[in-house]
Structure 1
C-alpha cells in the first residue's frame, strides 16, 4: 500500500471522528468517536471488500427481521461474540468474595409467579426435580433477609417457556430469602441445550464451525436494597460443555455439584416424587454493595 493511500484512509477517519466534536452529550461524543476509530481500523486492517460489506448489511438486516418481542436475535449475536459477557465483566468489578456475574440471556420474562420457601418453580416443565438451597449474605458474611431471588431455566427438551406458542409460564419463579438469608425451592435439573440457531446467528455459527450448545445452567437474578443487582447462573460440574459454552458464560466459581439422588431417596422436605430420582445443589450467594 502506498503512503498516499494510507494518508487518504487516515484523513477520512479523522474527518468522521471530528464530525462528532460538537455532540452536546460528552459520553455520547466519547462513544461515537471511539466507535468510529475502531470500525475504521477494522475495515482498514482486514481490507474489507464491498461485497463483504454488503453481506454484513444483509446479515444485520436479517437479524432485525427475525427479532420480535419474543426473540432477541441481536442479544444472541452479542452473546456469541462475547460482547455480552465482556460488558458484564466491565460492569461488575470484583469486590471481595461477591458472587460473580454472568450473561443475562435472551429468555428472561418479567412477572414470574411467586413461590414460597420450598415451593416449586417448574410449573409442569419436563425434567428431573432438583432441590436448590442456599443463603444470601453480604461480603462481610451478614445475612441479607428479604432478597428477591428470581430464577428461570430451560426445560428437559431444551426450551424456555417463552419459546412455546401457548403462553405457558413454566420453569421460572421468584421467592425471597428468609430472616436468616436462606432460601430453598424445587426446580428441574439443568441439561444442555442449543441457543436458537435457525436464524442469522445460527448460520454464522455454522459458517465458523462453532457449536450452538450451552452448558447446563440455572439462571438467578438477586436484588436487595443497598446491594448491587446480581445476574448470574450456576453450572453443573462435570458437564462436557463447560469449556465450550456458546456464549462464554461459564465462570469456575459458578460451577456447582448437582448431586444425583436415586429413586426412593428421602427428599429434604418430605415431598413424594412418585418414585422418581432427583438432584440437589447448594448455592451460597454473596452480594456486593451498590456503588454510591
Structure 2
C-alpha cells in the first residue's frame, strides 16, 4: 500500500480502525482471572494506545523508544537501577508516592526512594558514625521518632544513606566499599543521633540513557543536597524520606522532583573550635541539624 492510498483513506475510517486495534487488545485480557492484573493491563493498553494516536508516533520514533528502553535495561544491574532513575526523572516515582502515601496531618512527608539503597547496611550505636571513611564535612544529626499523638517510638529502625562530597554513593565506586550508610535504632524516648556528612548537591548518574534524555531536553541532572532516611516500626507505616538543606539553590530544580517544603531543614554551621554535642574532636568545620520524625499509623 503506497503513500497515496494511505492519504486517501477517510479520516473517520482510519480513526475507527485505530480504535478497533485498541479494543481488540483490551478484549484479549478479558478472561484474565486476576482482577487487578486485568484492570492494570487494560488501562495500560488504553493509555499507551491513546498516547500513540495523540502524538501520531512514527515507526522511526517507536524504534528509537524501543532502543532507549533496551539500553535502560542493559545498563541496570545489582548496583545501578536505571529504570528507577527513569521513573524518578519523569516524576512517576513522586506521583506513585503521592498516591500511596497521602499527607497525614502531623506526620512526616514521604519522598523518592532513589536507586542507591542497599539492604544490610552496617549497624551503628546511637551517636555512631555512618560515614565509613566517605569524604565530606562532618554533620551531627539528631531528633526523635514519635507517633502523630506525640508518643515516643522506642526501637524504631532508621536506615540512613547519602553521597560523599564528590557526589558519589559507595555503590558507584568499583572497590565494593560500604560508606555513607548505616542503620540504627531509637532509644527509649524515641531519640536518635549519629554523625554523617553535611549533604552536598550532586548529579544523578547521567552517563547512560537517562542522562541522554535529560541532555536532549536541556534539563539539569543535579539533585538538591539531601540525606536519605527510611524509618520502620511495628504498627506504623514505613516512611521513606529525605531532608534537604535550606538555602540550596537547587531546591527548585531538583532532577527527580523530590523536594517538599516540610523536609527543608536548617543545617547550622560550626567552626572546628566549637565543641561538638558528644565531645568528639573535629579538626574541620562541621554542621548539625535536628530532624524530628513523626510516623503515621499502619494502614
Q: TM-score with structure 2 length normalisation?
A: 0.96
Residue of structure 2 aligned with 1:106, choices 110, 115, 118: 115
TM-aligned CA deviation for residue 93 of structure 1? 1.8
Aligned residue number for residue 217 of structure 1: 226
Q: How well do the aligned residues superpose, as a CA RMSD in angstroms? A: 0.8
Which residue of 1 is the match for residue 132 of structure 2? 123
Deviations 1:137-157 (A, max 9, x none): 001111001000110000010
| Separation (CA, whole Å) in 2 of partners of 1:152 and 1:64 | 25
1:204-263 alpha-carbon deviations (Å, 9 max, x no partner): 000000010000000000000000000000000000100110011111100000111122
Match of 1:66 in 2: 75
Which position in structure 1 is the counterpart of 2:287?
A: 279
Task: Choose from 94, 99, 103 the match for 1:90.
Answer: 99
Distance 2:75 2:192 in 1: 38
Please list every run of 5 or more consecutive structure 2 residues that lacks an aligned counterpart in the other structure: 1-9
CA shift digits 1:98-133 (9 cap, x unpaired) = 100011100001111111111111111000000000
| 20-29 or 90-99, larger mean C-alpha shift | 90-99
For residues 47-88 of structure 1, what are the alpha-carbon distances to aligned partners after superposition, in whole Å with 9 as ceiling and x for unaligned?
000000000001011111111111111111111001111111
Aligned to 2:186: 177
How do 1:204-243 residues align onto structure 2 when only pairs under 5 Å count? 204-243=213-252
Query: After superposition, where does 1:15-26 map in structure 2 within 5 Å?
Result: 15-26=24-35
Could you tell me which runs of 5 or more consecutive residues in structure 1 were left unpaired when the two chains were aligned: none
Q: TM-score, normalised by structure 1?
A: 0.98
- Measure, in 1, the Cα distance between the counterparts of 2:147 and 2:116: 28
Distance 1:114 1:57 in 2: 42
* TM superposition outliers: structure 1 runs of 4+ over 2 Å: none
Q: How far apart are the structure 2 equivalents of 1:113 and 1:10?
A: 55
- Partners of 2:79 and 2:15 in 1: how far apart? 46
Aligned counterparts of 2:71 and 2:104: Cα–Cα separation in 1: 40
Structure 2 partner of 1:290? 298
Q: 1:251 aligns with which of 252, 260, 264?
A: 260
Tell me, in whole angstroms, the C-alpha distance in 2 between the residues paired with 1:94 and 1:189.
Answer: 27
Give per-residue Cα distances to partners, 1:25-55, cap 9 Å, x unaligned.
0000000000000000000000000000000
Structure with bigger gyration radius: 2
- 2:19 paired residue among 10, 15, 30: 10
1:80 is the counterpart of 2:89: yes
In structure 2, C-alpha distance between the alignment counterparts of 1:16 and 1:199, rounded to whole Å: 33
Q: Secondary structure at the match of 1:51?
A: helix
**Residue 94 of structure 1: how far off its partner (Å):** 1.9
Question: How far does residue 136 in structure 1 lie from its aligned partner after superposition?
Answer: 0.3
| In 2: Cα distance, 1:113 partner to 1:264 partner | 31
Kindly state the Cα deviation for residue 12 of structure 1 after the two structures are TM-superposed. 1.2
What is the alpha-carbon distance in structure 1 between the residues aligned to residue 125 and residue 79 of structure 2? 28
d(CA) in 1 for partners of 2:229 and 2:71?
31
Q: Match for residue 172 of structure 2?
A: 163
